[in-house]
Structure 1
């Protein structure tokens, strides 16, 4: 049997967000569309997700969340991580507060989320990254705190979202191109920090250019071409499949957002389990695996 050319971790993010998202992610795993999941422990269906992962033997890591919903820690009263209503500031709100110097990072919530993960799943996360890429952000030592917590718990793998060829993806709308460019800039600057703490990540990251409607067979093949042409083995593809959330069902304490309710979730699910995609993996000797296999 020929050796695999590439080891590909296809990670389904936002596991735990709602039961419909959970079931869609599990269905995608069962059909070979994903090989790994990332759990939001502050989401309302986190316990349901952890149970599904155990029953279906799904490799699982932590999607640490400092930007959406309610915290896990009980010790954040008065913390600048939270707004006046006790919720996190949101995807852009977190970044704006950080940029204005109004947000001071704390280890307490990250440690609480790792401990909650261990309670739910029964072992330390195989990997840990940040929901909405907050783990690579600068200022008040955000990325430094993430690296310290990873190191302290012996979690050796994270995600560094630097996607080859992203600047050539002119089909992305301008606002998304701008956001992705900033994510990549922050990620580049985080490399030194994660290296210093002995944290590792796959050689190539993909997923910023293939989210939602932009996930298609041609786009997946385009993205994977960078992996196939490089003399590198390990790649992570970030995806967000699932059955769309229903209004008022799911979320992290504030209800489901538009992203989770979008039909794009089902589109990603169907594309990932398309027989053409699965056959392409076999033809190109792309072996789907998980962080625990590294």
Structure 2
């Protein structure tokens, strides 16, 4: 099996960025996705430049921070920030969503790099009203997309084929994180030729504590993703750790 271990939220803050890079250098993380609208993004790009083995894609955002576009009222609150939650996305302007996602992707390309793939914060790309927009952009920019059919919002029959993995897991998340739990997730994906697992390793900093409801468990994720037992299991099972560039 070819396994992508992706760390979401690259660019959220320096603590998140440093945790992701350590999870790659010392652990099994192979890939990360960048939040192009967050304050740690420039720091993340500097780290990525010095860590060329880490695949880096775009973590499309509609529910955290502020938009890059200035006129997207169906997505923002009275302060100009993205609205919290996802209830409003069912009726959000498709044109505004596409402009904002395009701005986030184009900001990445202006760095001179090409993203490895597209995914999204809080899985908004898998929503029935938003997935067609993401698929159009994936086709336009020639990018793979995180497997969107693992989420309840979207039926596979409603969407065309995209370049993605055969399997995906978002279960390495929450309070009950253990080495055995991680090994079980990887084992559960082993029936697929290609698969991706979502992770959120980080060091805690003020920005993360203040802005995210999921903070302290990220340090536990970092500990597990760099655990010797996990690396030993990967080697024993001959799991190939790859990026999206290697699944085509």
Cα distance in 2 for partners of 1:202, 1:62 equals 16
Cross-structure match for 2:62: 66
Cross-structure match for 1:174: none
Deviation string 1:95-150 (CA, Å, 9 cap, x unpaired) is 21134x3x222211011000111123x22211001110000112xx3111111111
**Number of matched pairs:** 244
Cross-structure match for 1:132: 122
Cross-structure match for 1:88: 82
Are the equivalent residues in 1 in contact too, given 2:63–2:121 (CA < 8 A)? yes
* Residues 1:143 and 2:131 aligned together: yes
Cα distance in 1 for partners of 2:130, 2:174 equals 28
Name which of structure 1's ranges 144-153 and 8-17 shifts more when overlaid on structure 2. 144-153
Are the equivalent residues in 1 in contact too, given 2:147–2:167 (CA < 8 A)? no
TM-score (normalised: structure 2):
0.92
Cross-structure match for 2:148: 160
Which segments of 5 or more consecutive residues in structure 1 lack a partner in the other structure?
Answer: 1-5, 163-183
Give 1:161 deviation, angstroms: 5.5
TM-score (normalised: structure 1):
0.78
Cα distance in 1 for partners of 2:40, 2:64 equals 14
| Distance change in 2, residues 1:283/1:49 (3 Å) | same
Q: Greater CA radius of gyration, 1 or 2?
A: 1
1:1-294 matched pairs, under 5 angstroms: 6-57=1-52, 58-74=54-70, 76-77=71-72, 79-90=73-84, 92=85, 95-99=86-90, 101=91, 103-106=92-95, 107-120=98-111, 122-138=112-128, 141-160=129-148, 162=150, 184-187=151-154, 189-190=155-156, 192-195=158-161, 199-207=162-170, 209-228=171-190, 230=191, 232-246=192-206, 249=207, 256-259=211-214, 262-294=215-247
Are the equivalent residues in 1 in contact too, given 2:125–2:148 (CA < 8 A)? no
Deviation string 1:148-176 (CA, Å, 9 cap, x unpaired) is 111111113333252xxxxxxxxxxxxxx
Are the equivalent residues in 1 in contact too, given 2:27–2:227 (CA < 8 A)? no
Which segments of 5 or more consecutive residues in structure 2 lack a partner in the other structure?
Answer: none
| Distance change in 2, residues 1:161/1:264 (3 Å) | farther
Cα RMSD for the two superposed structures: 1.8
Are the equivalent residues in 2 in contact too, given 1:212–1:268 (CA < 8 A)? no
Give 1:219 deviation, angstroms: 1.2
| Distance change in 2, residues 1:218/1:250 (3 Å) | closer
Are the equivalent residues in 2 in contact too, given 1:15–1:38 (CA < 8 A)? yes
